[in-house]
Structure 1
Amino acid sequence: MFSSRRRAVAVAAAACLVLLAPIQASVSAEPTATAAQDSAIYTVPNTDSQTRTEINRTGAQVLSVSAGVATVEATAAQAEQLRAAGFALREETKVAEALQQLSGTERVPGDFPPDDQGFHNYDEMVAELDATVSEHPDIAAKSSIGTSFEGRDIPVLKISDNVAQDEDEPEVLFNCNQHAREHLTTEMCLHIAQRFTDNYTDPAIKDVVDNREIWVIPVVNPDGSIYDVESGQYQGWRKNRQDTGTDLNRNWGYLWGCCGGSSDNPDAETYRGTAEWSAPETAAMRDFIDSRVVGGTQQIKAAIDFHTYSELVLWPFGHTFDDVTDGMTQEEYDRFARIGGEMAGSNGYTPQQSSDLYITDGDSLDWMWGQHRILAFTFEMYPAEGGGIDGFYPPDEVIQQETARNDGAVDILLREAGA
């Protein structure tokens, strides 16, 4: 997508971004790519949501599940701890070796490997948003929700028929790339931006744009996303670049650290940070979403937080296995399940409550619903399963197919935002 103009605007955007990105990394310890240094991929048979939660609580991370077999990323120490707890681990590959193989032998510093140039790096993403605004100034406007730890802009695109006005219309948020290595999600957000601007002459698209305010945030974690590819070889990096890195999707403020669904170990992949909202990126997301409370009413009615991978449609809550609980009535749960099932029927994903995968806490899904009653879903995109780390780095040939695959689901959510 955007291939005709991608490289033409990238150089100019990169020059401008130098001025926008005062680097602050010197104030803190330099994070290390622990995953690439010490981790391996293992398979663990006969798991369920409870045992997968136990696996994650060691600091290891469940990457995907197929027929009860969990694919797990773990350091040697975490693997030893899991075996001591009775888990049967089978090592599949070393993460460092897999990353090297995925990256190929050629290196393009600051960019994706040559075989994956269809993906947009940060500079190119910003350039695409600027080009969209230039081509569609009446319906698209770019602004910022704040800056990252290293001082980079976190841009947001608004799409609406009267884009300069704050109209009394249902708003829908699509955000991507909370986790650095999940680059396919950035392409998903760019696809949404393209679809609802370039196709405005389509009556169905025009009807949506004229009756909704759409917000698109393609990269929540710019520092981590850049770091993951800046050497020209994939790093397998998940977190932001603050100290040893914080898992942004465990740093949100709803029941932060409540339920064993995140780690207090700074080296863990699911490290929740020193306090809720301690990561500037999540604080920026909070402030933006809070700012959409107008006259005491939250204007954002629905949202999708895109991740990879596993091909899942997830809904709240993640912090509890209970369907009905404090903050979730049976009627509300049934609505989530109905809409989630309909969206999954359109894209072939598996619909389930978030905790059916494993317990999480401090995630965006729970906060959006628990704090603001936003009809919030998490999508885990392509592939359905993988050999481990390679699931985060699909070939660029799948971008068009796997982003367009969610068009129907996006349309369903936009419809439900007005219900």
Structure 2
Amino acid sequence: MRITKRGKRTTTAAAILSLALALPLGAQATASSPDTSPGTSGTAAAPVERQYEVTGVSTAEERTALAATGVSIDEVLHHSVVVTADEARAKRIAKLGHELTELPSAAPAEGDFTTSSPSQYHSYAQMTAAVDSIVQQYPNLMRKRVIGRSHQGREIVAIKVSNNVGVDENKPEVLFTHGMHAREHLTVEQAIYTLREFGQGYGQDSRITRMLNERELWIVPSVNPDGKVYDQDSGSWRNWRKNRQPNSGTTAVGTDINRNWNYRWGCCGGSSGNPGSATYRGSAPESATETKVLADFVRSRVVGGEQQITAHIDFHSYSELILWPFGYTYNDTAPGLTRDDRDAFATVGTRMAASNGYRPQQSSDLYITDGSINDWMWGVHGIFSYTFEMYPGSAYGGGFYPPGSVINRETARNREAMLILMENADCMYRSIGKETQYCSN
């Protein structure tokens, strides 16, 4: 019923909270139902947002109801959640009967938190230079394609990686996407790591060599370059999530790209209709420039009436989770998602999670989301699409801004999981013993 303000927590209190984070949830799964409160997110006068722990929230239904206030849910604990909210939305939560405890600012001086500075991560310009350098180093293995431009005109690129890179061969294709949410910079580092690792590994590592001989891999290092630049290039983190596209009739800026996909868009209380919300779904499906660029690229991979991309990972942070569809319904199966489909998702997802220590689960086990890339990939194109929520497991590892010292460790942590997905990409149903039923020629 009240908002409690606390100063810096003791190390012991931080440890207790860290132990409680059995089900941490990062930015990807953040959802918000339509709300009518005013918002000016993205403008100079935008309200200050802080993190709060909200107690007495234990079930997916309760979390979905909480998200209806328009807050961003950052972590899911056993009997509470951590949210990012401005003062107005915090008061709305308090009026619902919840107690909020303001968490200390995620700054290096706080001691309980370990965070980074923007200079510890590749900027958009540095990322572009790094990608170009790697591609030039492996000209027979990699080729860069500009697949479109952001709202502000920056290039969105896809790098093809395959042993016969100049030829569109009849091989299963795998897609990795990164940086959909601006503040999730560790995911862009994941893309750079993967390019380097697969370039160096080809001809040296038997599994990488076989996969690049038998698959065509596409890597999109930054889906949301405008948001990345806005969040990082001022020299101080801005905690920005959306793209930078203005919203007509309001001073609010930006659409949540991961609520803007044309499958069950806005259907089920899993996104916000308020342009000021961090989970604003946009004015229409694919209204965000960057959503349409990536969607058009996926559609371009339909050859002879058949989608060539068979498997996909969308990298996000934070929470150390592996998620699969559907997000729009609590049900394990639904029209277009059979029990065998679900079992293949879960089996491969669980194997990947065993390799990197993440927690595997259906997205809606956390709470409802709609208009997400995973649901669209599977629901429209039949692509086995996962979200990886990367390090850390909680705000006490740096939240959206973990220290640069963890980049090498945490990107390498996903090497095995990526190879597991690629190895299954020719027939995901092999994982449940039904290759003959689904994959025989």
Counterpart code for 1:311: E
Q: How far 1:98 moved relative to its partner? A: 3.8
Asked if the contact 1:99/1:236 (under 8 Å) is kept, the reply is no
Q: Deviations over 1:341-379 (max 9, x none)?
A: 111111000000001111111110100000001010000
Q: How far 1:397 moved relative to its partner? A: 0.4
Aligned to 2:400: 392
Tell me: CA distance 1:263–1:116, structure 2 relative to 1, closer, same or farther (3 Å). Answer: closer
Percent identity between the two aligned chains? 48
Q: How far 1:30 moved relative to its partner? A: 9.8
Q: Deviations over 1:26-68 (max 9, x none)?
A: xxx9932677x42121102242211111121211011012323
Counterparts of 1:370 and 1:86 in 2: how far apart (Å)? 37
Superposition TM-score, scaled by structure 2 size: 0.82
1:269 paired with 2:271, answer no
Counterparts of 1:386 and 1:99 in 2: how far apart (Å)? 11
Q: How far 1:386 moved relative to its partner? A: 1.2
Q: Deviations over 1:301-351 (max 9, x none)?
A: 000000000000000000000001111111111111111111111100000
Q: Deviations over 1:211-255 (max 9, x none)?
A: 100000010000000000121011000000011110000001101
Aligned to 2:103, the other structure's residue is in SS state strand
Aligned to 1:333: 342
1:212 paired with 2:221, answer no
Aligned to 2:196: 194
Q: How far 1:410 moved relative to its partner? A: 0.3
Map 1:352-391 to 2 at 5 A.
352-387=361-396, 390-391=398-399
1:130 paired with 2:132, answer yes
Tell me: CA distance 1:269–1:34, structure 2 relative to 1, closer, same or farther (3 Å). Answer: farther
Aligned to 1:18: none
Tell me: CA distance 1:150–1:30, structure 2 relative to 1, closer, same or farther (3 Å). Answer: farther
For 1:405, which of 410, 413, 421 is the aligned residue?
413
Aligned to 2:336, the other structure's residue is in SS state coil
Q: Deviations over 1:126-175 (max 9, x none)?
A: 11111112111001000111000001000111001110100000000000
1:282 paired with 2:291, answer yes
Counterpart code for 1:344: A
Tell me: CA distance 1:122–1:415, structure 2 relative to 1, closer, same or farther (3 Å). Answer: same
Counterparts of 2:66 and 2:207 in 1: how far apart (Å)? 46
Tell me: CA distance 1:122–1:309, structure 2 relative to 1, closer, same or farther (3 Å). Answer: same
Counterpart code for 1:144: V
Counterparts of 2:118 and 2:254 in 1: how far apart (Å)? 25
Map 1:192-341 to 2 at 5 A.
192-202=194-204, 203-243=206-246, 244-341=253-350
Q: How far 1:91 moved relative to its partner? A: 1.6
Counterparts of 2:370 and 2:45 in 1: how far apart (Å)? 23
Asked if the contact 2:41/2:277 (under 8 Å) is kept, the reply is no
For 1:59, which of 40, 46, 70 is the aligned residue?
70
Counterpart code for 1:141: R
Counterparts of 1:123 and 1:30 in 2: how far apart (Å)? 25
Counterparts of 1:61 and 1:30 in 2: how far apart (Å)? 12
Counterpart code for 2:50: A
Segments of structure 1 that go 5 or more residues without pairing to the other structure are: 1-28, 103-111
Counterparts of 1:401 and 1:278 in 2: how far apart (Å)? 37
Tell me: CA distance 1:33–1:276, structure 2 relative to 1, closer, same or farther (3 Å). Answer: farther
Over the aligned positions, Cα root-mean-square deviation in angstroms equals 1.9
Aligned to 1:391, the other structure's residue is in SS state coil
